[in-house]
Amino acid sequence: MDQYSADFESCGMVEIRGRSNYQCELREDFSCEDGRVGRCPYWGSVGCPYSAAEMRCRVSPLVVTNYHKWFVTRKDDSPFSNFEQLICDEGHEAPEALADHMQILLHHKEIEALRLPFLDGTEADEFWNWKRWAKAAHALCTTALEATAAKIECANPKPAWIKEYSHLINLQQRLLTLSTASPQDWVGEEIRDVGWQFDPIRPARYAELKLFCRIPRIIMVSATIRPKTMYMLGVPQERFDFFEYPSDFDASRCPTYWIPTMRNDHKQNDLSMLYLRADQIMARRGDRKALIHTVSWKGLQELLACTKYAPRIMSNEKGEPITDAITRFRKSEPPTVFASPSVGTGFDFAGNEAEYQILLKVPFQDGRSKIVQARQAEDSEYGPYKMMQSLVQTIGRIMRSKTDRGESFILDNHIEWVRSRYGHFAPRTFHQFFRKLQVAPPPPPKL
């Protein structure tokens, strides 16, 4: 959003985010979300940062926002009403963004406050029981909400009361959705030390209501979007046109090498050959920075224990904000290598921030999750599509322009059959830049 706002501000583009992103003018400890609940006198006027953003959006022909804000805003009376064209950038993320938006997560702490324990045992296995439970929890939440509403009627409500009210409004909506959900279309799963998570098996059923909103013209844009992306949003083939354009990147500047090493999966007890191969690649590239994608935290710990280049490896701790670790890495000097399971998407490493990367494992989906199993049973291509999207997006982290340069090394031998069987889920450029080698090539000139 920052990039779009900067690039297109001159032709009238404005942005809008969720209310919690704006600082309330009434109190320093309030966001505009808190100010709205606390009856801020600036709300609805140009003196309110969020209301001013809404006003700008209503009169501008160009508005940029994020998927979550788009999903949660009513389209019949909002700054998004009456648009005739919607452009979804990073369109490959739309199915997952929709699924995440529809997900209901209930935490132990917030449910304990209602004094209604979660279901357990065999009772928790039937979604019908959760519907009845959610109806009872919704009634308790409504009572708590009314009590909190009474407290904030005073002239100077405490910030804690305001936040509690906002939280209860959100919880009430989640419980209402759960109580009205169709049992055959939803799956519930206990998340250890967190609570319970509920997901729709077919998020595409909500695509028209939440994403497309009867807008006449919709353009989905992405370097990795495929026709399958549209099918996952419930759009049949006859309702869309798909165009794939050639890359203007020089293939010699961004090769993807597969060096046959070994299969990396749970059946392997000894991965020493994998880490030896990674060491061979790093040995000849000590003058530049790099990424290593481990896919899992367990894989990260095994890498640190087995590689002889552990002293040059930087990583983030589990639970640590990934942005803090990435900031440290960007400021570091060669031959620093950033190893993590968390940078396959969402972060770019242009120029000399990372000139090569190593993928230790093909990023298969975790098949232990109930919702993944349910969606895979509904659509046999669900897991392979997500895997291939993750793989291609990961490879794109270090090549950000025509003048950039980045080598990608895949060491997991699963790539051979994955590319053969599911290669149609990757763009043509992935195959054009793919090379099979027996040994790591000499490094190209440093940027």
pLDDT tens readout for residues 393-433? 999 999 999 999 999 999 999 999 999 999 999 999 999 99
CATH of the domain at 373: 3.40.50.300
- Of the three residues 218, 239, 260, the one that is the final residue of a domain is 239
Residue 424 domain-assigned (yes or no): yes
65 is in which domain, residue-wise? 2-101+205-239
The answer to whether residues 214 and 183 belong to one domain is no
User: What average pLDDT does the segment 8-25 reach?
Assistant: 94
The answer to whether residues 139 and 84 belong to one domain is no
The answer to whether residues 317 and 261 belong to one domain is yes
pLDDT tens readout for residues 189-245? 999 999 999 999 999 999 999 999 999 999 999 999 999 999 999 999 999 999 999
Report the distance separating Cα 299 and Cα 341, nearest Å: 8
User: Mutual orientation of helices 370-378 and 382-395 as an angle, nearest 10°?
Assistant: 110
CA dist 79 → 15, 62, 206, 210 (Å): 11, 11, 21, 15
- Of the three residues 239, 261, 295, the one that is the final residue of a domain is 239
Look at the chain and report how many structural domains it folds into.
3
Which H or E run contains 240? none
The answer to whether residues 326 and 370 belong to one domain is yes
User: What average pLDDT does the segment 102-118 reach?
Assistant: 96
The answer to whether residues 196 and 230 belong to one domain is no
The answer to whether residues 288 and 357 belong to one domain is yes
Check pLDDT > 80 for residue 346: no
User: What percent of the chain lies above the pLDDT cut of 90?
Assistant: 86
Q: What is the predicted pLDDT for the residue at 235?
A: 97
pLDDT tens readout for residues 291-334? 999 988 999 999 999 999 999 999 988 777 788 899 999 999 99
Q: Given phi > 0 = left and psi -120 to 50 = alpha, else beta, which region is 266?
A: alpha
